[in-house]
Amino acid sequence: MPPSDTPENTTAPGVEGGSAEDKLIVFDQVVKRFGDLTVLDHLDFSVAPGERVTLIGPSGSGKTTILRLLMTLEKITEGHIWIDGEPFSHMPRGSGLVPASESYLRQKRKRIGMVFQQFNLFPNMTVRKNIMEAPVHVLGLSRDEASERAQELLDLVGLGDKIDAHPTQLSGGQQQRVAIARALAMRPEILLLDEVTSALDPELVAGVLDVLREVAETTDITMLCVTHEMGFARDVSHRVLMFDKGQIAEEGHPDQIFGDPREERTKSFLKSVLENGH
Ligand SMILES: Nc1ncnc2c1ncn2[C@@H]1O[C@H](COP(=O)(O)OP(=O)(O)O)[C@@H](O)[C@H]1O
Ligand SMILES: [Mg+2]
């Protein structure tokens, strides 16, 4: 189905063709500009439920912007984003679509969790409270349920004994594992990971990646992951998207992208990452 900007176009691309059930996330001709700078240029891509997709590409190619749009931290300039066949960047109004309101976005983003390069834990709260806040205030869990969930998730990330610690008492790697537990506490269908090991001392990287491998293996959560950890990307992702200047330069199975890249831009990007010691 050709993309359309007409307000009558209220169905996700592919829905009428019957293929939308295998698409959880759809970017349809998404443009994002900051002033004169076009960061995403008529971007089309989709992600299937349970799929794990790694985004690679040079700094400034728009990877973080894609995650921030999904986290509703930014608004698109043109085009549409759909989640699970429903409008996400927009909402239905009459027979058409209008840009999503704050309350619509708040509802929709409950399904999505994000972990950032900087862990962004609340420094004045215990680990338990960091993890419990959103489930209590956004999902309406009781304190007991939320506390139990916090304990389970801390066990999962190997920090069951740190529940009453404060973030400043933890290493960067431990803080990032708490941040992963905090994102999972919302039981998101989609987990967004933006260079989650880039701010860590090298010896702490493996522990965090092991936790994410475990999450990948034991859940059917859909993952969009920006990383320079190519070994991890190769192990965990079903598909790799190579971005350049806000467009997809190349995409494919990790074995193909890392083992036999076709595009010159992919080759030179991978070479530069290798030279930087990853
Ligand atoms: N809030 C903003 N205001 C202006 N420019 C921005 C903003 N956020 C990102 N950019 C620009 O958008 C481009 C893409 O950024 P980003 O998505 O962070 O790229 P990546 O994550 O691939 O490094 C960069 O040129 C960046 O400077
Ligand atoms: Mg980035």
**pLDDT string in tens for the chain (278-residue length):** 444 444 445 666 654 444 556 899 999 999 999 999 999 999 999 999 999 999 999 999 999 999 999 999 999 999 999 999 999 999 999 999 999 999 999 999 999 999 999 988 999 999 999 999 999 999 999 999 999 999 999 999 999 999 999 999 999 999 999 999 999 999 999 999 999 999 999 999 999 999 999 999 999 999 999 999 999 999 999 999 999 999 999 999 999 999 999 999 999 999 999 887 65
Plot region of 276 (φ>0 → left; ψ -120 to 50 → alpha; else → beta): alpha
φ, ψ for residue 243 (rounded to 5)? -100, 145
Which uninterrupted H or E stretch holds 248? Answer: strand 247-252
Q: Taking the model in full, what pTM does it have?
A: 0.92
With a 6 A CB cut-off, is 172 part of the ligand 1 pocket? no
With a 6 A CB cut-off, is 60 part of the ligand 1 pocket? yes
CA of 239 to the centre of ligand 2 (A): 19
Choice from 32, 37, 192 to test ligand 1 binding pocket (greatest atom count within 8 A of CB): 37
- Between CA 67 and CA 226 the distance in angstroms is 9
- Between CA 56 and CA 231 the distance in angstroms is 13
The pLDDT value recorded for residue 20 is 58
The pLDDT value recorded for residue 261 is 97
Cα of first residue to Cα of last residue in the chain, in angstroms, is 41
The pLDDT value recorded for residue 263 is 97
With a 6 A CB cut-off, is 64 part of the ligand 1 pocket? yes
With a 6 A CB cut-off, is 65 part of the ligand 1 pocket? yes
The pLDDT value recorded for residue 186 is 96
- Between CA 202 and CA 277 the distance in angstroms is 11
Q: Residues in the chain, how many?
A: 278
With a 6 A CB cut-off, is 59 part of the ligand 1 pocket? yes
